[in-house]
Structure formats: structure tokens, C-alpha cells
Structure 1
Amino acid sequence: MRIITYKNYFNSVRLVTISVFVLIGVLSNQAYGQSLGFFKGSDCIMATPGDLLTGCIATDYISVQYEKFRKGFDTPAGWTLQVRANGDFSNGSAIIPAQFVSISYNGSDGAGPSGVSGTGSKMLSTTTPASLITTSSPLQSPPTTYFVHRLNMVVAGGSHLSAGTGTFSTTLTLTLVAQNGTIIATNDRVSVSFKVDYSSTCSGATLNSYYSNQPTFSDYASLMNGRTVTDAVSLQYQPNEANCTGWSLKVRANGNFTSGSNSVLPQYFSLRFNRVASGSPTAAQIGVTNNAIALAYSDVPLIDQSDAPFVKYGGTEHKYDLIIAGGNHLLVPNGMYTASLTFTLYNQNNQIVSTRIQDVTFQVNSSSNSYTMVLQNSADVIDMVFNTIANYQDGVSVSKLRGLKVTGYNPYQVLIKTSGSNLENSTAATIPVSAVNIETTKYTVTSGALINTFTRALSTADQIIISNPMANSTHQVVEYSLRYYTAPSDPRLLGKSGIFNTRVLFVAIPL
């Protein structure tokens, strides 16, 4: 620094200060007259589950333009091109780390210096630049004033690509570096991106449903046989933007089928996939089976990990048959029985995508329910006690006078059966129900003898114990006495210990 003084023509004195700053170790681009430009090709797109596993390669994706060499520019061999990511890749809401993307040198346009070799595929880092090339020839101008290097971009496949759909973008910093580490030129706004057009999250998909073809049970035979209702439940999928695979459809019963205080357990009801009514994919592509799936209070899968994705913006409808098992559980009073079912669409990560609650109904309007039966005089509990050898030798008999009252205005039969083939105790020991007999006799005095009563050994099969063909007023309310007994010295009772139980059902049906 120096200070210069002088006198002007007006005899005044001025001081002029001149400062000179010397920048050591950093030379600007302008000092060399050098700049780095770029243009990029088409983004690679991953649109299937397989693409997410394998990733993608964008060949010659970045074209690096070396240009504006000033005359006399000369840098020794050993110069290189470095790359660093300025941040992770983002679609605006999700992040894919830059480390899953690599850049590699693929070639030049032939106009640049010879002796350029790639250093292989370099994983991007947001902190440490990586050299993409080695050089054995200097940069000189002339003759070199402009040339292009072509770079590939590789996106590694894996679970990190399941972050969501969209275009994932970031910027890179490309730097031309001399052998001694001097930065010759740099460009920190090199935009790069790739597109994920497939998501395992199924985000945006919705579920809808409706119920049709409600079954009605009108007689005893239908209650015992059950019913299969074709296309009873329809499930509609609106995938919107989702094209995910590995999705599952599950169903659970939110309670019993109820009508007032009466109910039937959901375990007697099943859903069975019938067909794809509209849309895609096909049943074969999904990998769905036609097995009947019993309802439960917890989720059970109707479709488990679909092999095929939805088609974007393409509505799909599935039809399910409702299978109602016949049996004693349906011997309930007439009425409309309703259960609420929750259908849930899950993605392959078992995350809930959409739910739909659908009421399913059936009706009992059985002619057998037009009769009234009452077990009275403690006939609803029968205790047969064997506590002496005489009980075994002579047998045991328990009578219930006027134990059953039947009211009916049309001819009828009364059937009897047991809920199981054995009486069982707490240790799972058994006695066949046929070891117990029931004798039915008419108690009410009527003007005719046309009512027939029978004696039967207990069984799970329907057996007639009363037959009343009369419809006149003297036969509309009739009481019957019941006697349960065992045969003397029945070997099936020998050596048994404990309390053995079964349930006996009385069923009135039209004659």
C-alpha cells in the first residue's frame, strides 16, 4: 500500500488512498474464461413393482458442456470433473436419500482432449465431491474451445423407492478441478430427477360396497339346509392414482346377526369370491381363490396380497357369494337379522388404505314359528342322578307332568333332537345321547284320540314325538307330559363319573 500526495492548480492538497487486494489460491471462472453448462435427457421412470426392485438407468442423462476457453488457456493433465449432490431427492412430501443415486462418465463428443477415462459409478454424497474422470492430456486453448462429456445416472432399486409416487428431484454441483486442486469452473444448479409411477402405499384408493339378494327362510327345511346367495355382496374399488400390488381385502363382523334380543353368531356365515364383475385385474391375475371364508369378530382375508396392481383411474367391482350354514343355530324367532361387516383395504405393508361398513341381512319368516311351545314345570332342566348301584341296575327315570305346552291353530308335528351326539363332562368324557330315552304322553283331555305321541331314544336326527292332525279349538292348546329314562344295566353308563350335559331341542313344524 502506498500514499501519493500532490498539489493541484487550486493550491489545495488532497490525499488519495489506493488499496490493492491479492486473492491467493482461488481463481474465478472469469480468470480462466471458462464455464460449465449442461442439458439433461429424459428422466427414467419406475412404473411396476419390479422396477422398484431393480431401479433404473438413464444413459447419457447429463451432457456437460465445457466452453468459453480464453486464448492461451492451459491446464496440465490430471484435471478432473467432480460431482456432489446439493440435497436429497424429494417429490415435495417424501425424501429418497441421494446415496441411492450414482453418476458415471459414459463418453465424450470426440471434440475434447484425449486421454479421458471414467472412474466408475460414483454414489452421490451431499458432503463429499466425487471425481468422475481421470485425464492424461492437458486442457489447451487453442485447439480446444468447446466439448461435451456424457454422464449416466443410475437409481438403485430397493425399499427406499417405496416412499411414494411423483417426480423426485434435486440439484448437483459439477466442478472442473485442476490437478493441483484449483477450481477452474463450477455449476451448482444442475437439475436432475427421476419418476416413481408406482406406489405400494395404495394412497388415494377408496372402497365402496352394496348388498343385494337378501335371503328369506320360510320353513324348517330351509333353516336346516341353509342357503347360498349368489352375488350377495359387491365390493367396488376406486384406485384413483394408485396402481399398487400386494394389496389385501379383509372383512370382520362387528357383532352377531341380531333381531331384537335374538341373535345368530357370525361363524355360521361365509363369503366366497365369485367374480370380477368389471374392471381390472382379473381374478387369475390377482391370485384369488374361491374358498369360502367364515366370518369372525377379527379381520379375515378375502384377498391376500394381490399379485396384480389396480389400473389407475379404472373402477373395479368384485362379487361375493354369501353362504349361510343351515342348522339348529337358525331356529330363532321370525324377524330380520342384521350384522354390520367392516371391509378393509390394506396395502402390502399391512397399512389401512380404506374401509367400508356394510350391513348384511337375512330374514326368518318360518311357518314353524307360527306355533308356540313352552317348557313348563321345570321341564327345561332334567337332572338324572346316578349315585347308587341300584340307579345303574334299575335305571333312572325323571318325569315332568305337563312339561310341554304347544299352541297351534293348524296341524303340526313336534320333532326332538339333541345338539350333539354325546353328553359330555368337563374332562371331555362322553356318554352317547342314545343312552337316554324320552316318552311323551298327552296330558290335556280332549274329545278325540287323534293326537299321537311317541317314545324315542335321543339322537341328533329329527324324530317325531308328537303328531297333531287336528285344527279344531279343542286341539289348539295341548299339554304333554315328558319322561326321561335310562335302560336297566346299560353298559354305556358303567364307570362314568361327573356331570354330563347336552341340549335337547323341540321343534314344531306344520303337518
Structure 2
Amino acid sequence: MIIRELYRQHFKPEFLKLAGALSIFMFLFINSGYTQSIGYYTGAACTFNTLTEIANGCTSPNYFTIQYNMASGTYPAGWTLEVKANGDFSNGSTTIPAQYVSLAFNTANGGPGGVTGTGYQVLNTAQSVSLINTSEQLKTPPTYYFEHKLNMKVQGGNHLKVETGTYSTTLTVILRSKQGNVIATNSNVQASFVVNFTNSCQGVTLNSYSSNQNSFTTYAEQMAGATVTDALSVQYAPNGATCDGWRLDVRASGNFTNGAQSVAPQYFSLRFNRVSTGTPTASQIGVDNTPVVLNNTDVILINGSNAPFGANVFTEHKFDMIIQGGNHLLVPNGTYTGTLIFSLYNSNNVLISTTTVSVSFLVNTVNSSLTLELQNSANEIDLVFNTLESYANGVSVTKARGMRVVGYQPYQVMIKTSGLNLIGTDNSTIPVAAVNVQTTKYTSSSGGISTFTRALSTVDQIIVTNPMVDNTQQVIEYNLRYYTAPNDSRLSGKTGIFNTTVLFVIIPQ
């Protein structure tokens, strides 16, 4: 009231008008010193605590509140808000690509109307993307301050199966005019989400043991092979880990050996049988019962489990061992032992734990009353074709007393080859049937014994039958003659050294 009185008493109306005009001018001058700026604050971040959340992803509504502080100016409709990722999301040691995160306009708080969102836009580290369309101008005054709310969505999937931690990056937010000019920008907008679910499998330990050793007691069993049910057990102690996507591998450290004798690991397979204790189940894991052939390098037994371990739940898996039958088992009697190494890897192919186990099988097929010996250099046969007459007449090599058998019960001797062909140095072939083997008794005093001539084959063929009529038949020596037929076309045009292996097998009758 006092001031008003002073004005009325001491100032003329014309001066009051001028003073009023001056005060308005000063206000505009002060505002014109303001700069356009963008601020922000964030809401609750996406947090991934379970495997389900990892798979499904997460949306954080109104995660960003973008604040616009405007100086005077007028910008026609078509102005927009753009955003660009300055880098991928990282917790310092592990990175998740920005392409798995997208933003979308939600609502406006103040400011001009006519703002609509462009939908979820995937973050890009190379260029900015527009989040809004506008149909009204942005004018200051009257709009000096307003806000936009933005949703942030993190796509679910294996890319989230990473180390635990807060994954962060910075964004550049740009308010851009219709003409493409930058009105305001902020290049340090912090964005983050949290992964609490660990997929590292750290803390899981393995153990293993073997059981149910197989024994081959007959030639027929050696040829048929065997399946040893529950031959091996692998035990998992997850402790606190609940990772999924883990993988179980196995490798053989070498051959199955008995002194100097050995059988290669590729004749053995492991087959998942069952989950005998603990979780997850076989169906939850996604494992089947397909046999896996052993090798000297890692082969996969369980590939990328579809389910995690139960935290602190002891688990055991049973595996069958399949032993392939065949000539490789025609080895001297004894126990053949191999070492297998099981390895657990997490979903990022990081080795977590290993365990080593010995597994063995027994060969005891040749009766102690039967022995067969190749003697007088009969263990190596050379058929030489070096003249035209060799092809025309055939070639013959005889090993007198080449085979010696000691037996105290009736027996048969069989012969076969390891392959269908003799293999040349240049990988050309000759069928093994091009070579014949004739067996005869060295002495004629042993009655009742039958001998035969056979063309070589991979099939078992009897070359001696001894019914053991009397004790004169207990120690017998046999002649072995290898020969080819005259003018055999299978040998025509062949040059080089050709090889195969001939197996002699004695079995009791």
C-alpha cells in the first residue's frame, strides 16, 4: 500500500507505462540467457533372479523420466526425441550387446500435445533412433519445462546367462528439430539392469566310479560284444549353484591296456541310462539314450542341459558302457583297463570340474587246454608277382609246420581277414578272396582230423577240425600254403605292395 501511494504521488502515468515496459523487457532479457538442457532420472531397473526371468525378459515401465528445460524459441511440429547407445551393457568383465535392449515412449507430463510413440526401438551404438512423432509445435513461452516417460525392455535369452552383476551403459538423448538441428542433448544418461541369476556353475564338483565289469569267456561273446548296464556313475555336488545350459563331456586318456596288449577306445560307447538321484530329471535336461563313441578327445554326453541343478541337491547319473564286438577283442587273456575323464562345462564353454575313473573288462576266452602258435615264419607271408609267368601260373608260398596246436579236448581252427581287401600303397585294392589258404597235417599219423582249403574272407571259415579221438592228436603241426589262381583278372594291372591281416582262431567244440 505504501509503495502504491508513492507511485501515485510522485510519478506521472506516462512514466508508469514506461516503467512497466522496461520491467517486461528486463524479464525477457534474463530468460534469453537460459540454455536448453535435458535432465533425467530413473525408476526401478529390470532384475533377473530366476531362469524363467532370464528366458522371458523384462520390461521396466517409466524407467526413464526425461526432463526438458527450455529457453525461448519456437519449433514447428515434427520435432522429435532420439536416443543412441554409447556402448554395450557391461559389468566390467562381461558384456551384453545393446541390441538386446529397447526403449519406447510411454506418457508425457506437461509440454505440447500431439506426441505419439514410435513403438519399441532397439538401441543402436552406431546411430540414434527416434522414439516419438509430434503434430504440435514446441514453443517457449509458455512451455519452459516438461517431461517424457520412457519404458525400457530387456530381451530374454541366452545372452543373459552371464556373470552376476549390474550391467550398465550410457545413452545419448537428443531433442532434435524438424529440420534436423539439435535443440538440446545429454550424452551421459545412465541405463542399467541387474542379473542375479548365475549361470557360471562355479562351485559344482564332480565325482565318478565304475561297477559291473564285463567278462568275455567265449569266442561268440567276443564277436557279439556286450552292454554293461550302469557301468559308470557320475555324481554332481552343485553346492549353491543353480546354473543351466551345462554340458558333460568325456574322453579316454588312451587305449584299454593289459601290459603290451591294448584295445582302442573307439570300440567303446557310453549311453545315458537314468538319473538315479537328485534333479533335474532326464526329460527336463533333454538328454536321450543315444550311444556316444569314446575318443581320445572330448565327446559330448549331455549337451546344454535345458534345466538347472537344484541348489545343494546331490545328483547322480548312470551310464551304460557298450563294447563293440569284433576282431579287436581277439587279444590275450587278461584284464584290460582304460581311464576316462569326465568334464563339466558351463553354458559359456568354461571348464568347471573334472573327475577321472578307471574302467575295465576281462578276456578269458581261450581254454587253458588249447593253444595255437604260428611258427617257422608263418606269421608273415609274401606273395611276389614279378614276372608274366607269376600272373599266368599263379604264385604259391608254403610254410611247412607253419601252425602248431596243443590241445587236450576237441577243437576247431577258423581263419578270417581283418578287411575285405588287401590295401595297396597307393590305396588301390585287391579282394582278399584272390588268395587261398590250404591247410594240411604235417604228419599222417593223426587220424580223424579234417583240414580244408579256403579262399580268404572276413567271414569265419573252418580250416581244421580235431575231434580228439586219441592222445596222438594232442600236439599237431600243420602246413599252411598260400596261393593264387592262374590268370586271375583281379590281379591284372596291379602294382605295389598290398597288405591285409589274417586271423587264426581256435575254439573248443
Q: Name the TM-score, length of structure 1 as normaliser.
A: 0.68
Q: 1:481 to 1:292 in 2, by over 3 A?
A: same
Partner residue of 1:59? 61
Task: Determine the C-alpha separation between the residues in 1 that align with 2:394 and 2:191.
Answer: 94
Partner residue of 1:21? none
Q: Deviations over 1:101-126 (max 9, x none)?
A: 78888669x9x99989899999899x
2:452 is equivalent to residue 455 of structure 1 = yes
Q: How does 1:169-180 map to 2 (within 5 A)?
A: none
Q: How does 1:25-174 map to 2 (within 5 A)?
A: 44-45=47-48, 47-48=50-51, 51=54, 55-60=57-62, 152-155=151-154, 161-166=160-165
Task: Determine the C-alpha separation between the residues in 1 that align with 2:54 and 2:140.
Answer: 40
Check conservation: 1:91, 1:166, Cα contact below 8 A.
yes
Look up the equivalent residue of 1:457 and give its one-letter code: R
Partner SS state of residue 367, structure 1: coil
Partner residue of 1:419? 418
Which of 480, 504, 507 pairs up with 1:506? 504
Mean Cα deviation higher: 288-297 or 381-390: 381-390
Q: 1:385 to 1:169 in 2, by over 3 A?
A: closer
Look up the equivalent residue of 1:465 and give its one-letter code: I
Task: Determine the C-alpha separation between the residues in 2 that align with 1:158 and 1:113.
Answer: 38
Task: Determine the C-alpha separation between the residues in 2 that align with 1:401 and 1:480.
Answer: 9
Q: Deviations over 1:79-133 (max 9, x none)?
A: xxxx9x9x9987687576999878888669x9x99989899999899xxxxx99x
Check conservation: 1:199, 1:244, Cα contact below 8 A.
no
Task: Determine the C-alpha separation between the residues in 2 that align with 1:94 and 1:494.
Answer: 66
Partner SS state of residue 267, structure 1: helix
Partner SS state of residue 480, structure 2: strand
Q: Deviations over 1:257-293 (max 9, x none)?
A: 1011110111111122223334444434444333222
Q: Deviations over 1:318-351 (max 9, x none)?
A: 3222111111111111111111122222333333
Task: Determine the C-alpha separation between the residues in 1 that align with 2:339 and 2:444.
Answer: 46
Check conservation: 1:409, 1:471, Cα contact below 8 A.
no
Deviation at 1:416, TM superposition (A): 2.0
Deviation at 1:216, TM superposition (A): 0.7
Partner residue of 1:332? 331
Deviation at 1:442, TM superposition (A): 3.9
2:396 is equivalent to residue 397 of structure 1 = yes
Deviation at 1:220, TM superposition (A): 1.4
Tell me, which stretches of 5 or more residues in structure 1 are unaligned?
Answer: 1-35, 65-74, 126-130, 140-147, 173-180, 182-187
Partner residue of 1:269? 268
Partner residue of 1:432? 432
Q: 1:409 to 1:95 in 2, by over 3 A?
A: same
Deviation at 1:359, TM superposition (A): 1.7
2:236 is equivalent to residue 233 of structure 1 = no
Q: Deviations over 1:434-490 (max 9, x none)?
A: 641322214496xxx3451402213322233333444987554x2413231436535
Check conservation: 2:271, 2:290, Cα contact below 8 A.
yes
2:356 is equivalent to residue 353 of structure 1 = no
Aligned length: 450
Q: 1:413 to 1:154 in 2, by over 3 A?
A: closer
Partner residue of 2:486? 489
Deviation at 1:493, TM superposition (A): 4.9
Check conservation: 2:452, 2:463, Cα contact below 8 A.
yes
Deviation at 1:56, TM superposition (A): 1.9
Look up the equivalent residue of 1:510 and give its one-letter code: P
Q: How does 1:177-192 map to 2 (within 5 A)?
A: none
Task: Determine the C-alpha separation between the residues in 2 that align with 1:395 and 1:467.
Answer: 28
Partner residue of 2:242? 242
Tell me, which stretches of 5 or more residues in structure 2 are unaligned?
Answer: 1-38, 75-82, 126-130, 172-182
Look up the equivalent residue of 1:301 and give its one-letter code: I
Check conservation: 1:402, 1:443, Cα contact below 8 A.
no
Look up the equivalent residue of 1:366 and give its one-letter code: T
Task: Determine the C-alpha separation between the residues in 2 that align with 1:99 and 1:412.
Answer: 76
Task: Determine the C-alpha separation between the residues in 1 that align with 2:92 and 2:418.
Answer: 64
Partner SS state of residue 250, structure 2: strand
Q: 1:211 to 1:114 in 2, by over 3 A?
A: same
Task: Determine the C-alpha separation between the residues in 2 that align with 1:456 and 1:103.
Answer: 85
Which of 463, 466, 488 pairs up with 1:465? 463
Check conservation: 1:44, 1:58, Cα contact below 8 A.
no
Task: Determine the C-alpha separation between the residues in 1 that align with 2:92 and 2:49.
Answer: 18
Check conservation: 1:46, 1:56, Cα contact below 8 A.
no
Task: Determine the C-alpha separation between the residues in 2 that align with 1:472 and 1:342.
Answer: 54
Task: Determine the C-alpha separation between the residues in 2 that align with 1:398 and 1:217.
Answer: 35
Q: How does 1:179-258 map to 2 (within 5 A)?
A: 194-239=193-238, 240-245=240-245, 247-258=246-257
Q: 1:49 to 1:259 in 2, by over 3 A?
A: farther
Check conservation: 1:204, 1:241, Cα contact below 8 A.
yes
Task: Determine the C-alpha separation between the residues in 1 that align with 2:41 and 2:484.
Answer: 103
Partner SS state of residue 366, structure 1: coil
Task: Determine the C-alpha separation between the residues in 1 that align with 2:435 and 2:88.
Answer: 80
Partner SS state of residue 465, structure 1: strand
Partner residue of 1:3? none
Q: 1:262 to 1:151 in 2, by over 3 A?
A: same
Q: Name the TM-score, length of structure 2 as normaliser.
A: 0.68
Look up the equivalent residue of 1:408 and give its one-letter code: G
Give the aligned CA root-mean-square deviation in angstroms.
5.2
Task: Determine the C-alpha separation between the residues in 1 that align with 2:215 and 2:500.
Answer: 30
Deviation at 1:509, TM superposition (A): 1.9
Task: Determine the C-alpha separation between the residues in 1 that align with 2:160 and 2:400.
Answer: 79
Q: Deviations over 1:218-244 (max 9, x none)?
A: 121111111011222223334442322
Q: 1:166 to 1:442 in 2, by over 3 A?
A: same
